[in-house]
Chain A
Amino acid sequence: MANGNFETTIGLEVHVEMQTNSKLLSPSPVHYGDSPNANTNVIDWAYPGVLPVANKGALEYGMRVALALNAKISPFIRWDRKNYFYPDNPKSYQTTQSQTPLGTNGYLDVKLENGETKRVRIHELHVEEDAGKNTHGNDGNSYVDLNRQGTPLVEIVSEPDLHSPDEAYAYLEQLRQVILFTGVSEAKMQEGQMRADVNISIRPYGAKEYGTRVEMKNVNSFNYVRNALIYEEKRQAAALRAGEKLVQETRRYDEPTKSTISMRVKEVADDYRYFPEPDLSPIEISQDWIDEVAANLPKSAAQRRQYYVDDLEIEPYDAEVLTQTLAMADFYDQTVQAGADPKRAANYLIGDVNAYLNKTQLELQETKLTPANLAGMVKLIEDGTISTKQAKKVFEAIMDGEEPEAFAKKNGLVQISDTAILLPWVTEVLDANPQSIEDFKGGKDRAVGFLIGQLMKKSKGQANPGVLNQLLMQELKQR
């Protein structure tokens, strides 16, 4: 066992910002990176007299996540208020779903490093609003930007089924991918779109009660989560071995030292005074509504991988790569739908397109490449219109948004496969090189290479090598 005689228990509460058009309770835009407070109105500022109206899109996004995590969607939901004072929390209460969460009793199958699959139960998930953002000046003041305030979040609460830092890491990775494929969020950690609150306790094997819990809030990298948990496992075990009593506290992960630092010891439990939100109407979710949301739910990464391997005959490794992001998988699906050979399309996306993205640091959707153009290029290669060598130039062009066939024609990249054009050239070259014909007949295959070289020169490299070869052999035999 990794930690001597102690069993580790980890619970994760993961918050994911959902990329709706508007906020959960006000029509202000949800948009990252705008000037401070640009996306705020009187509702976001909790002006006297304002009222919230809940966003249907946010609720449906939450339903998508619930479905993707195999949770039961509650038929009746009432919003609740969670009361606490904080500068980034203008109403001094957060609108959330405490008593009637959107989804309950879900699970996520997590592939562990040893190849085993572990089912992690999801206790519940609910939709709530995000807080604003505080920055701390070195002038003794803090500064509040409410742009993020009210962005819809889905909070996913796991059961304490995770027993090691690696399992927690694998769970988070898997959860991120599942969420990515619901299309509700890009779940970018560096932009805070996915954040984890981590609980960890240890207890001697066989103990009935859980150990004293330590909480770490808003950890925003999977590696930090793992490092923090590794440190906590050791720290807590050492303390217990030394006969110390652990205290329930909030700690913070410190990356430079890869350790955790105590922030606040909880003497009394927080008292958030939850109660039902009287300003919002309750919500009834019918099976029809769930079915409608399910119909719009994108296929999961696992479903897609299976389809790629079984139906499109793609290598399993390639299928993994293609399903790393929803954008890539969607792009691939659309390219195949547009008539591209699945294998060749996959090779281009995994190879050249990924290399391009790495070089330019762009997201696929930020480029000018379209599935239609990629499919167009693949088709030109497949039907022999262009050579794979010519395709390199066409690829550059389609990355700039050009239509492949038009580009190839305009730039003389089209292969000449027409025997009516090629035959006179063959006759001409053979007539000019009687020695080569003699050599060929004498069994010297080298002569063929020479003749082809002459012909390619004549065609300025545009002759389709396959067709040309066939034509040449046919003519040679007749001489």
Chain B
Amino acid sequence: MAETISRDDVAHVASLAKLAFDEAKLDQFTDQLTDILTLFETLSEVDTSAVEPTYSVTPNVNHLREDVADNWHQKQELLANSPEEAADLIKVPAIIKGEDD
């Protein structure tokens, strides 16, 4: 495995996670994450070539909901909790064109 994490990697991961760190914090996180990754590396000792991954231990299969609509009428409470709203819409600083979805 021997994956390591550089300061640039940490900065890249931070941008994916929408977090920003000052220089000192970035260094500190790089050190701590590197330390934790050495712990993670113990996994490379395990032969998993023939092992199926377990993503969940739920025994449930096909837990589905019938297609019946039910409006809980929470609109007003939800809008009241939003940091900024206008005309029943959630207000955010402009989405700049090019920040595409």
Chain A residue numbers with a CB within 8 Å of B18 are 85
- Among A20, A28, A40, A141, which residue has its beta carbon within 8 angstroms of that of B91? A141
With the chains together, A58 CA to B88 CA distance in Å? Answer: 28
With the chains together, A85 CA to B78 CA distance in Å? Answer: 20
Chain A residue numbers with a CB within 8 Å of B99 are 86
Which residues of B (1-39) have their CB < 8 Å from a CB of A? 16, 18
Contact B91–A143 (Cβ < 8 Å): yes
CB of A238 within 8 Å of the partner chain? no
Chain A residue numbers with a CB within 8 Å of B94 are 136-137, 140-142
CB of B45 within 8 Å of the partner chain? no
- Among A22, A89, A136, A142, which residue has its beta carbon within 8 angstroms of that of B67? A22
- Among B66, B78, B95, which residue has its beta carbon within 8 angstroms of that of A57? B66
Q: Is the interface of A mostly helix, strand, loop or mixed?
A: loop
- Among A27, A42, A145, A263, which residue has its beta carbon within 8 angstroms of that of B89? A145
CB of A21 within 8 Å of the partner chain? yes
Please give the number of chain B residues whose Cβ is less than 8 angstroms from any Cβ of chain A in the complex: 37
With the chains together, A403 CA to B78 CA distance in Å? Answer: 49
Contact A88–B61 (Cβ < 8 Å): no
- Among B70, B71, B86, which residue has its beta carbon within 8 angstroms of that of A143? B86
CB of B56 within 8 Å of the partner chain? yes
Contact B100–A250 (Cβ < 8 Å): yes
Chain B residue numbers with a CB within 8 Å of A87 are 90, 92, 95
Contact A36–B66 (Cβ < 8 Å): no
CB of A419 within 8 Å of the partner chain? no
- Among B61, B72, B88, B92, which residue has its beta carbon within 8 angstroms of that of A36? B88
Interface stretch of the complex, out of A48-56, A155-163, A313-321, A393-401: A48-56
- Among B72, B79, B90, B100, which residue has its beta carbon within 8 angstroms of that of A41? B72
With the chains together, A39 CA to B86 CA distance in Å? Answer: 17
Chain A residue numbers with a CB within 8 Å of B79 are 37
Closest to B78 in A: A45
Chain B residue numbers with a CB within 8 Å of A427 are none
CB of B50 within 8 Å of the partner chain? no
Mask: chain A, 260-294; 1 = CB below 8 Å from B; 0 = not: 00011000000101011010111110000000000
Give the A-B pair count, Cβ closer than 8 A.
Answer: 137
Contact A36–B89 (Cβ < 8 Å): yes
Contact A54–B64 (Cβ < 8 Å): yes
CB of B87 within 8 Å of the partner chain? yes
Chain A residue numbers with a CB within 8 Å of B56 are 276, 278, 282
With the chains together, A263 CA to B95 CA distance in Å? Answer: 14
- Among A29, A30, A41, A284, which residue has its beta carbon within 8 angstroms of that of B62? A284
With the chains together, A352 CA to B100 CA distance in Å? Answer: 46
Chain A residue numbers with a CB within 8 Å of B61 are 281-284
| Nearest CB of B to A29, in Å | 4
Closest to A38 in B: B75
Closest to A145 in B: B89
Contact B92–A142 (Cβ < 8 Å): yes
With the chains together, A421 CA to B23 CA distance in Å? Answer: 106
| Nearest CB of A to B99, in Å | 8
Contact B68–A22 (Cβ < 8 Å): yes
Mask: chain B, 74-98; 1 = CB below 8 Å from A; 0 = not: 1100110000001111111111011
Known A-B contacts A27-B65, A264-B100, A283-B64; the reply to A39 vs B71 at CB < 8 A is yes
Contact B101–A131 (Cβ < 8 Å): yes
Known A-B contacts A28-B69, A29-B69, A56-B66; the reply to A40 vs B74 at CB < 8 A is yes
Closest to B56 in A: A278
Known A-B contacts A28-B69, A37-B88, A142-B92; the reply to A263 vs B97 at CB < 8 A is yes
Chain A residue numbers with a CB within 8 Å of B89 are 36-37, 135, 143-145
CB of A102 within 8 Å of the partner chain? no
With the chains together, A145 CA to B92 CA distance in Å? Answer: 11
With the chains together, A182 CA to B15 CA distance in Å? Answer: 43
Contact A143–B90 (Cβ < 8 Å): yes
Contact B69–A21 (Cβ < 8 Å): yes
Contact A217–B101 (Cβ < 8 Å): yes
| Nearest CB of A to B19, in Å | 11
Chain B residue numbers with a CB within 8 Å of A38 are 71, 75, 88
| Nearest CB of B to A71, in Å | 20
With the chains together, A146 CA to B79 CA distance in Å? Answer: 11
| Nearest CB of A to B20, in Å | 14
Contact B91–A281 (Cβ < 8 Å): no
Contact B55–A281 (Cβ < 8 Å): no
Mask: chain A, 113-150; 1 = CB below 8 Å from B; 0 = not: 00000000000000000010011110011111110000
CB of A78 within 8 Å of the partner chain? yes
Q: Which 7 A-B pairs have the closest CB atoms?
A: A57-B67, A143-B89, A56-B64, A281-B60, A29-B69, A281-B63, A27-B70
Instruction: List 6 additional contacts besides A28-B70, A145-B88, A278-B55; criterion CB under 8 Å.
Output: A59-B64, A88-B101, A140-B93, A140-B94, A141-B94, A143-B87
Taking Cβ atoms with an 8 Å cutoff, the residues of A that contact B are 20-22, 27-31, 35-42, 45, 53-59, 78, 85-89, 131, 134-137, 140-146, 217-218, 250, 263-264, 271, 273, 275-276, 278, 280-284
A–B Cβ pairs within 8 angstroms, 13 of them: A40-B78, A42-B78, A55-B65, A56-B65, A137-B94, A140-B94, A141-B93, A142-B93, A143-B86, A144-B91, A264-B98, A275-B55, A281-B60
